[in-house]
Amino acid sequence: MPLGCGESVMAEIYGLFSGRDGKVRYVGMTAGDREVRFKEHQRVTSEGVIMPVLSWMRREWRCGYPVECVLLERCEYAVRHDVETCWINKFPDLLNERKVNWLHNKTAPVVPEIKKYIRSFIFNSGGFRGIHWWRHYDMYSVFVGGNWLGGGDAVPGRGGSIYYSHRTDALIARDRYRRGCGTMRWLPDAVPEAEWPEFAAQVVDMHELDFDPSIHAAECDTAFKSEFAGTIA
C-alpha cells in the first residue's frame, strides 16, 4: 500500500526469549511484521534463518520451554541499524554478533512484557516436560515439538483449544502426540539439578512481582496427591 503524504516507513526491534528464564538471547530488526520474521527464525528452509538462533530454540523446545518474540522498540526505518545496535548492547550473552562490546558492569534492562509472560505460567509443572500451568486460567497446556498442542478446550476470549482442566488430561494428550512421533527420543520428565538455578531465579522474579507462592504450592501439592505422576501408556 502506498504511503500517504508525510508518512514514513517504520521498523521493529524485537527480542527472542525463552520461558526458561525470560532472558533475551537474540535481538533483531525487521521492516515488516516481527511475527512473520519470528516464523522465519523457526524454519531451517527459510532464507532468513540464523542457525545458532534456530539451534538454541530447538534446545529450549526439547526441554519443554516455549520461545517467544517481544517488541523492544519501533523506530524510523532510516535509523533502524543504530537503534538495533543500541539494544544489542543492552543485553549480555546474546547470540548476535556484537557491533561493540557489552559492558559487563551494566544490568540488562527489564522488559515488562517478558516479566508479565513469565509470571503467567508454572513451566514444566510438576517436572513434566512441556506441561505448563496458566496461573490466570487455572488451566494446563501442552508445548511439544515447538508448538502448543491442540485438542483441548478453548478459554473464553482466547480460543485456541489448547487448554486442559487437569494435568492428567494434558499428560495423556502429550504422550499421545509423542507416540505418533515414532522413535524420536524425549528428555525425561524429572527436572535435573542443572535446571534448578533457572527455576529458582524464576520464582524470585515472580515473588518480586507479587506472585502468590501459596497458589504455586497448592497447585503442585494437589497435582501430586490426586494425579498419576508417571508417563501415560
Cell numbers linked to 134: 496458566
Cell numbers linked to 137: 486460567
Q: What is the dihedral of CA 211, 229, 56, 119, to 10 degrees?
A: -10
Percent of the chain's residues with pLDDT above 90:
63
The answer to whether 71 and 113 have CB atoms below 8 angstroms apart is yes
Separation CA 123–CA 120 (nearest Å): 9
Q: Which CATH number is 10-107 given?
A: 3.40.1440
Q: How deeply is 124 buried, as exposed, middle or buried, from its count of CB atoms within 10 A (0-12, 13-18, 19+)?
A: buried
Could you give phi then psi for residue 225, rounded to 5 degrees?
-80, -30
**Pairing of the two strands 147-148 and 153-155:** unpaired
Q: Give pLDDT, residue 167.
A: 97
**Pairing of the two strands 139-144 and 147-148:** antiparallel
Predicted confidence band of residue 69 (pLDDT cuts 50, 70, 90): very high
- Asked whether residue 223 carries a pLDDT value surpassing 70, the answer given is no
User: Helices 51-62 and 34-41 sit at what angle, rounded to 10 degrees?
Assistant: 80
Q: Give pLDDT, residue 77.
A: 95
Which tens digits make up the pLDDT trace of 93-133? 899 977 666 666 578 899 999 999 999 999 999 999 999 99
Task: Return the DSSP state at 109.
Answer: P
Task: Return the DSSP state at 76.
Answer: E
Which tens digits make up the pLDDT trace of 9-28? 899 999 999 999 999 999 99
Q: What is the mean pLDDT of the chain?
A: 81
**Pairing of the two strands 121-122 and 131-134:** antiparallel
The answer to whether 149 and 141 have CB atoms below 8 angstroms apart is yes
Q: Give pLDDT, residue 105.
A: 56
Query: Higher-confidence residue: 225 or 20?
Result: 20
Strand order in the sheet with 10-18: 24-30, 10-18, 67-76
Cell numbers linked to 85: 545496535
Q: Please give the model's pTM, rounded to 2 decimal places.
A: 0.78
User: Which sequence spans correspond to the domains of the chain?
Assistant: 10-107, 119-226
Q: Give pLDDT, residue 157.
A: 74
Query: Higher-confidence residue: 185 or 218?
Result: 185
- Angle (CA) 214 158 119, round 5°: 30
